[in-house]
Structures are given as structure tokens and as C-alpha cells.
Structure 1
Amino acid sequence: MVFQAFPGGSGGMASSHDPGFRGSWFAGTVVRREAKNTNRYVVEYDQLYEDESGEKLLQETLNWIQLRPPPPPPEKKKVQLKFGDEVEAFHSDGWWEGAITAEHSGGKFVVFFRGSKEQIVFEEKDLRLPVQWVKGKWEPRFEQFTQGMQVEVLTDEDGLKGAWFAATIIEPSGEDKYLIEYKTLRNDDDTEFLREDIRACNIRPCPPEIIVVDGFKVMDEVDAYYNEGWWVGVIAKVRSSA
């Protein structure tokens, strides 16, 4: 992103790296660009204040990578939200990144926030699909997958919700959809690996191998390999290996 597109005084969205605010975007205005470091900007938030009195708007100095223009309004074509969708939810004066973990009646959804490990119920009007600012334009936040690519797939099948399963991209199968073949799940008669059409937002590249140096701690969010898939969970207890 070339930040010269946002002159002083222009509106935009800012993301803070402070604890408790990661994964959130707040509306703000660019006040000025730093003279000594041209990649940093002073931003004044529209709805965040310096103290509880609410008399003076908060100003912060942020890197250009923490800034983006306001996203465009949603398309007229309505997208049906469902379990597993990555979304941004309007909460506490900002847009927070989360994932839908349940659907309620009356057009309401339960959203889980990884940073705070909270689950909150939202009306559909307060949710939107994530977008990303790439090379001066807005794009849907999902990977462009290619034939033969090794991926992991989030399924909403009963008994398997919340688990990621290894799969291979076979081919595109529609708007934002791909035909995939699982590596461990098989069809009903067990003659071949199961194939399904999956929305792009429920597909992710295979995560890189990460070496855990200090071990896991209670309340760490993890993916646990169980029943042929990776299940999202939280460590409740660390048992001794002795």
C-alpha cells in the first residue's frame, strides 16, 4: 500500500497492536506524517478517547501497515453467513476480526474472537465479510487457490464442526468455491476419498510447521490433531510427563 494515497486530514481505518486491541480496526483521521520516519503517521481516532472523561480524542503514531482506507459498502448481493465464516463484527466502536461459531434464530450469530477468547452474539447487520487492502484496491480476504494445491478445509458436517481436514484443490467450482478432495475422509461406501464443493473462506493453506520452544501453557489456543483432523481448542490443564 502506498500511503501517499492518504494525505493529512483524510479519513481511514487504523489497527492497534496494543494488548486487547489486536485484530480490530477503528475509524480515524490522519493528522500528519512523521518527518524523521516517513512510514509512520499520527492518527486521531473518531471514537476512542485519551481517558474516561471522553473530552479529548486519542492520538497515536502508527506504522503505515496499520492503516487502510474505509472499506467500501457491502455489495447489494446479500451473502448468506454461516458457521465457520470469518467475519468482522462491529463491537465497542470498532470492527473486530472473528469467526462464526453458531447460528441463532432471528438472524443472529455467535462470533468467537481469538484474541480475547470471547463469544458474543451479534445481529447480521453488525457483521461483514473481511476484506483486505492490496496494492491500492480492496479484495476479498481469501486465498486464490490453484489446482493441486495442498490445503486444509473447515467442514460444517454434524460431528465435525470446528475441525480442519487436509485436502487437495481439484478445480474451481463456482463463485468463491472450489471442488476439493479430502486426504483422510472417505465416502459412505469407503471406496474413495470424499470430494466436496467448499467456499473459499472455509479453506486455508496448510500452516507451516512451528517448533514450540517453551511448551504449551494453560489457556493457550491450539489446534489438536484428533480423528483425522485439526480441532480448535484451548489447553485446560498441563499434565506432567513423569
Structure 2
Amino acid sequence: MLLGVLPIPFLFGVKIDVEVSSDDPGFRGSWFVGTVIRREAKNPNRYVVEYDQLYEDESGEKLLQETLDSIQLRPPPPPPEKKKKVQFKFGDEVEAFHSDGWWEGAITAEHSGGKFAMFFRGSKEQIVFKEKDLRLPVQWVKGKPSKVAKRESSSEPKADSNCPKEVMKFTQGMQVEVTTDDDGFKGAWFAATIIEPSGEDEYLIEYKTLTNDDDTEFLREYIRACNIRPCPPEIIVVDGFKVMDEVDAYYNEGWWVGVIAKDSKV
């Protein structure tokens, strides 16, 4: 479930400000600001919403309107308390204002001048933001904003039922390969270097082929130990490969698991 997605739909009136989520490819984990135009008479769980910063076409003359399910809507988060300034830190789950909306991600590095690098899991991008463009997510309980969503400590990785209780230990500087269960990347292994351990079975790694959004540095990410393996030794294949062999193929900056379906002559 995305941070902030509500288990119980809200009821909204006309001209009420809202934030809108989307499950469309490329937009998952984002929230866009809009205003309720009307509630459908035939289906009270659907609303017509006009976006504040999204337009129908590139001319930018008419704001985009969409009919949405109530579960896709939430109230904007309450303004931050003036006396309590949020101190962002490495590993925080945050939302960043980017491309006209608020996008969910995690802080992966702190830079000078009040800037933070943020990693988006869906797009595998890492972008640097100013502190003013970040906010902590809000959890909604029974229609009311609760305290700021609990920050996930890097020493307390998310539970993963697919991870065995006993996993291999890695050391700083070790060359490894990393996999992920994210959509579009299942079955792929990417070369990386162990930067440092983070907790009992989690490591900060730096990819050797994947870079951040502006290609200025290699991407860093926290990975569970069960999703890391040592680089395999170089093996000379004497008899070559044959149909139905299960192999890894180097493609799109990584090694992808597959099966040889056809023996084709190049």
C-alpha cells in the first residue's frame, strides 16, 4: 500500500482541496493537488476533480479534470507546526515535490546547503532536492491526521517473508551482485559494491552501472542481505550452451535470468 492511501474513503464537498493518487505506470507513489468540482449523483463514491498544475494538453490553457474513485483522494496534509522544524536525515521516508506532484521515496544522502538526495523505488531514480521541497508523510486514522509517519531506521529493515533467517555476511568494499523484486526488474542482477553494513542483515550498496538522474554519480540503495550474492567466478564453457539451458544474459546494465529457447546462428 502506498504511504497515505486510505483504507476508508473520505467524503468531500464541492470546492474542497484534495490530493490525488494514481496507479498508472510511471505515476505510482505520487500525489497531485486538485479541487473537487462535483460528486457524481449516480455513484457517490466518485468525484470530478480539477488539478491545480496538470493541463489537458501542452498549451497549458485548460486545467485537467478527471473522474476518480474516493479511495484515490485524501485531504492535503496539515501545515507543519512553526515551532517544530523537521530535521530530515539519511534513511527517512519522505515525499518530494517533483514534476508538479508529491512523490514518495527515501533520503539516500545528505548534501551541504540543506540539500538531500532522494531515491524513488518505482523509477530507480536518485534526485537531489532542497529541504523546502521535502515533507514527511502523514498517516490518516479515522479521517484525522495522526502524528507524522514513523521513520524507518536503516538498522530496522522491512520484513521480507522471502528472506531466510540465516543469510550470508558481506564486508565493506566487497564486489557483489544485487537483485530486486520491483516491477520490471525481477530476475535481474546488477553489479555493485558494499559500502557499509546497516543493521543485522541490510547493507548500503553502490551500483557499478546504474547512475542517478543526472548521471553525476552511481546510485546507492539499501538492500537486504538475501537479495545480495557474491560475484560468480569466471567459468569457461567448453561445450557451449544449448536449448533449455538456464542462463543469465547481460542486458540493459544487468544480468537477467532466463532459459535458452532457440539456437540461432548469428
Structures share fold, TM-score greater than 0.5: yes
> Counterpart in 2 of 1:218?
188
Superposition pairs of residues 69-80 of structure 1, within 5 angstroms: 69-76=75-82, 77-80=84-87
Q: 1:73 to 1:218 in 2, by over 3 A?
A: same
Which of 127, 133, 141 lines up with 2:149 in the alignment? 141
Superposition pairs of residues 60-75 of structure 1, within 5 angstroms: 60-75=66-81
Q: 1:240 to 1:93 in 2, by over 3 A?
A: closer
Cα-to-partner distance string for 1:124-151 (whole Å, 9 max, x where unaligned) = 11111111222111122239xxxxxxxx
Q: 1:208 to 1:35 in 2, by over 3 A?
A: farther
> Counterpart in 2 of 1:37?
43
Superposition pairs of residues 174-189 of structure 1, within 5 angstroms: none
> Counterpart in 1 of 2:256?
238
SS at match of 1:115: coil
Q: 1:53 to 1:105 in 2, by over 3 A?
A: same
Q: 1:31 to 1:118 in 2, by over 3 A?
A: same
Whole-Å separation in 1 of the counterparts to 2:142 and 2:13? 17
Whole-Å separation in 2 of the counterparts to 1:115 and 1:88? 13
The alpha-carbon deviation at position 2 of structure 1 amounts to: 5.1
The code of the aligned residue for 2:154 comes to L
Whole-Å separation in 2 of the counterparts to 1:208 and 1:42? 40
Unaligned ranges ≥5, structure 1: 144-151, 156-163, 166-203, 221-226
Superposition pairs of residues 149-160 of structure 1, within 5 angstroms: 154-155=154-155
Whole-Å separation in 2 of the counterparts to 1:17 and 1:7? 24
Whole-Å separation in 1 of the counterparts to 2:103 and 2:162? 27
Q: Which moved more, 1:28-37 or 1:89-98?
A: 28-37
Whole-Å separation in 2 of the counterparts to 1:117 and 1:219? 14
Contact 1:90 1:96 in 2 (8 A): yes
Superposition pairs of residues 84-163 of structure 1, within 5 angstroms: 84-139=91-146, 140-142=148-150, 154-155=154-155
Paired residues in the alignment total: 179
The alpha-carbon deviation at position 57 of structure 1 amounts to: 0.9
SS at match of 2:31: strand
Whole-Å separation in 2 of the counterparts to 1:14 and 1:42? 11
The code of the aligned residue for 2:28 comes to R
> Counterpart in 2 of 1:12?
18
Whole-Å separation in 2 of the counterparts to 1:91 and 1:216? 27
The alpha-carbon deviation at position 12 of structure 1 amounts to: 1.3
**Bigger Rg, structure 1 or 2:** 2
Whole-Å separation in 2 of the counterparts to 1:208 and 1:135? 29
Whole-Å separation in 2 of the counterparts to 1:10 and 1:27? 11
Aligned-pair Cα RMSD in Å: 3.2
The code of the aligned residue for 1:154 comes to S
The alpha-carbon deviation at position 121 of structure 1 amounts to: 0.6
Whole-Å separation in 2 of the counterparts to 1:60 and 1:105? 40
Cα-to-partner distance string for 1:149-194 (whole Å, 9 max, x where unaligned) = xxx9523xxxxxxxx55xxxxxxxxxxxxxxxxxxxxxxxxxxxxx
Cα-to-partner distance string for 1:86-137 (whole Å, 9 max, x where unaligned) = 1111111111111000010111100011111111111111111111222111
Unaligned ranges ≥5, structure 2: 1-7, 164-180, 191-196, 204-221, 228-252, 261-266
SS at match of 2:255: coil
Superposition pairs of residues 50-69 of structure 1, within 5 angstroms: 50-69=56-75
